[in-house]
Amino acid sequence: MQITMIGSGYVGLVSGTCLADFGHQVICVDNDETKINGLLEGRMPIYEPGLADLVLTNIRAGRLSFTTDLASAVKGADAVFIAVGTPARRGDGLTDLTYVFAAAREIAAAIEGFTVVVTKSTVPVGTGDEVERIIREVNPTADFTVVSNPEFLREGAAIADFKKPDRIVVGLEDERAREVMLEIYRPLYLNQFPMQFTSRRTSELIKYANNAFLAMKITFANEMADLCEAVGANVLEVARGIGLDNRIGPKFLQAGPGYGGSCFPKDTLALVKTAQDYDSPVRLIETTIAVNEVRKRGMARKVMAAVGGEMRGKTIAILGLTFKPNTDDMREAPSISIIQALQDAGCIVRAYDPEGMESSRTSISNVHYARDAYDCAVGADALVIVTEWDAFRALNFERLKTVMNKPLLIDLRNVYRPEEAQRHGFTHVGVGIASR
């Protein structure tokens, strides 16, 4: 198959590279020349484990290439994927579809022969209809059909998620697209990964419903954590207890400082707006958003309560800035609200993150960046784990104790059992773990 991927950001780059690895001929397009030149030289625009090697292997095998020339990449392609950004629009929070529609226009002008145009970007219900309308308007004689094929990749695990998906969802309105999509995902289909064919609108909604449900599940765990602290229970045990029920399942029940990232916050908001527009509100999701928003800053109050007394001049060491480990992504990271609230209270903030320090500079300021966890802890009145990077899973507590002002660990990801830290003379404050 000849596949063109429009947009070489996170989704486009990972999807394009994995499809090339399946044996297809893939051209990734982006209008950012620096990005394309970097990729051609093997420089990744994002941090994603395993991606650089896979890109290089497929370039060398002659299956993967990069260009800024959209028109020539679209000509003769069997399928053209739209994987451009869909940020939240400033002001109303609705999805900004400018890039999607611009891509549709450019694709329309370049189409040759029967082409399946596949929307991979996360787009609100009805966007496929609009993409179809635009292409037909620009090029009335074009032979094409528009398909929805949402992505379910997690940052940090994107390659594994693409190659071993729980399912592949394909929304189509023209049966000719079914064969093309089956061919594209042939290696997965042959390996019995479920492929769900449905209507385009249903497929578009599945993506939002999926993320909204997961965001709600995390938020449920977070509220249970607060309740556990209040009633003297342990949220890890509650999560295990309910997660063992097959109907609930154990994943996405880890209580923490609130969800962040580029997907859950944006997609939940977009779903709420769509639902309101159709006069069919999704109140559970409205509440999820509200609870999560309050929670992030609330974590700073938790830190302050543990430290106690006057906060002005206290030093707080933050371990982990990114919204989750194995990424350099700072979008909607709980660390931003936590640090801001601590600074508002007059605290001095030191921070360390294995990958996110550079990208954090636009969202946080007046922070002393440390070389590693131990350097971060120097003079600290509390050490706060905000993101559960592996590098923080086996900290040397004795060494930490010698550099800290007070041996206080606030573990917002429950990385350590309280006893482990207490054994070394630390006070341990977790999430949803009532102190004895």
Q: Which residues carry out catalysis?
A: 263
Cβ proximity of 121 and 185 under 8 Å? no
Cβ proximity of 128 and 204 under 8 Å? yes
CB of 387 to ligand UGA, least distance (A): 7
Check residue 151 for interaction with ligand UGA (CB under 6 A): yes
Q: Is 336 exposed, middle or buried (0-12, 13-18, 19+ CB in 10 A)?
A: buried
Angle formed at CA 175 by CA 80 and CA 184, multiple of 5 degrees: 40
Stretch that binds ligand UGA, among 36-44, 151-159, 306-314, 349-357 (CB under 6 A): 151-159
Spell out, one character per residue from 271 to 310, where the chain touches ligand UGA: x when CB under 6 A holds, - when not: ----------------------------------------
CB of 332 to ligand UGA, least distance (A): 8
CB of 336 to ligand UGA, least distance (A): 12
CB of 151 to ligand UGA, least distance (A): 5
Cβ proximity of 115 and 80 under 8 Å? yes
Check residue 259 for interaction with ligand UGA (CB under 6 A): yes
Q: Site residues for ligand UGA, window 204-223 (CB under 6 A)?
A: 211, 214, 218
CB of 304 to ligand UGA, least distance (A): 21
Q: Is 157 exposed, middle or buried (0-12, 13-18, 19+ CB in 10 A)?
A: middle
CB of 255 to ligand UGA, least distance (A): 7
Spell out, one character per residue from 94 to 123, where the chain touches ligand UGA: x when CB under 6 A holds, - when not: ----------------------------x-
Check residue 256 for interaction with ligand UGA (CB under 6 A): yes
Q: What is the DSSP letter of 99?
A: H
Cβ proximity of 358 and 329 under 8 Å? no
Cβ proximity of 136 and 217 under 8 Å? no
| Residues with Cβ within 8 Å of residue 407, at least 6 apart in sequence | 397, 400, 401, 424, 425, 426, 427
Check residue 323 for interaction with ligand UGA (CB under 6 A): yes
Check residue 324 for interaction with ligand UGA (CB under 6 A): yes
Check residue 152 for interaction with ligand UGA (CB under 6 A): yes
Select 15 or 145, whichever has its Cβ closest to ligand UGA. 15
Other C-beta atoms closer than 10 Å to the C-beta of 175 total 9
Select 59 or 224, whichever has its Cβ closest to ligand UGA. 224
- In this chain, which of 29, 253, 270, 357 binds ligand UGA, going by CB under 6 A? 253
How many Å apart are CA 41 and CA 56, to the nearest integer?
9
Check residue 261 for interaction with ligand UGA (CB under 6 A): yes
Select 95 or 122, whichever has its Cβ closest to ligand UGA. 122
Q: Site residues for ligand UGA, window 53-92 (CB under 6 A)?
A: none
Count of residues of this chain found to bind ligand UGA when the rule CB under 6 A is applied: 21
Produce one character per residue of 263-290: b if its CB has 16 or more CB atoms within 10 Å, e if not. bbbbbbbbbbbbbeeeeeebeebbebbe
Select 260 or 298, whichever has its Cβ closest to ligand UGA. 260
Give the C-alpha distances (Å, rounded to integers) separating 388 from 33, 38, 60, 415, 434.
Answer: 35, 30, 35, 7, 20
Other C-beta atoms closer than 10 Å to the C-beta of 372 total 11
What's at 235, amino acid-wise?
Answer: V
Per the listing, tokens 């045990």 go with 237
- In this chain, which of 43, 154, 301, 423 binds ligand UGA, going by CB under 6 A? 154
Which two tokens mark 244? 């063992």
CB of 75 to ligand UGA, least distance (A): 30
Cβ proximity of 151 and 210 under 8 Å? no
Check residue 263 for interaction with ligand UGA (CB under 6 A): yes
* Site residues, ligand UGA (CB under 6 A): 122, 151-155, 211, 214, 218, 252-254, 256, 259-261, 263-264, 267, 323-324
